[in-house]
Homo-oligomer: A and B are copies of this chain.
Amino acid sequence: MKSQEISKLLKGSGLKVTPQRMLIMEIISGMYNHPTAEMVISRVQEIQPGISPATVYKTLDTLVRKKLICKISTDDGIMRYDPVTLQHHHLYSTTSGKIKDFYDEELNRLLREYFNRKKIPGFELEDFRLELNGKFDEESTSNYV
C-alpha cells in the first residue's frame, strides 16, 4: 500500500498521521501471513528501533476499532491481525497452525442467499466467516487416508 493511501485512510478515520501508525499500517498491509502482535512488533523494531511494544498494541487496537485492519483469533489464544477487510474466510492448518485467506465469491453468495432465505430465529445476522480446518498440501507427509 502506498504511503499516500495509508495517510488518507488514517485521516479519513479521524486519526492523527504519526510515523508509528504509518509504519504499522505499511507493515501489516505487506504481511499476508496474519501476523501476531509480536511479529508486527519485531518487524517494526527492525525498521525503527525504539518504537514501544505498547504503542504497537495500542495502535493495532485503534486500527481494529476503526476497521482499517481486522483481528482474528486462533485456538492457541494469540491474536492475529489481517490487513484485508474484504469478506473472506480462513484456512487453518490443523498440523502447523498456518493460516491463509480464502476468497470465494460464489461461496459468499451461496451463504448470503441461504441466510436471506432462512433467518436464524432470535438472531440478527450481520456478518459471517467460515473457519476451514485441514491440511495444506505441502504438509501432507503422512498419507493415512
Residues on A facing B (Cβ under 8 Å): 71-75, 77-79, 91, 94, 100, 102, 104, 106-107, 110-111, 114, 118, 120, 122-138, 140
Contacts and interface: CB of A to CB of B under 8 A. Distances in A.
A130 B131 contact: yes
A135 B126 contact: yes
A91 B121 CA distance: 11
A130 to B, nearest CB: 5
B123 A135 contact: yes
How many copies the complex holds: the figure is 2
Contacts of A104: 118
Contacts of A110: 110, 114
A134 to B, nearest CB: 4
A134 B130 contact: no
A126 B130 contact: no
Contacts of A137: 122-124
A80 to B, nearest CB: 10
A75 B73 contact: yes
A102 B120 contact: yes
Nearest to A113: B110
Given A72-B75, A73-B74, A77-B73, A133 B124 contact: no
Given A75-B73, A77-B77, A130-B131, A124 B140 contact: yes
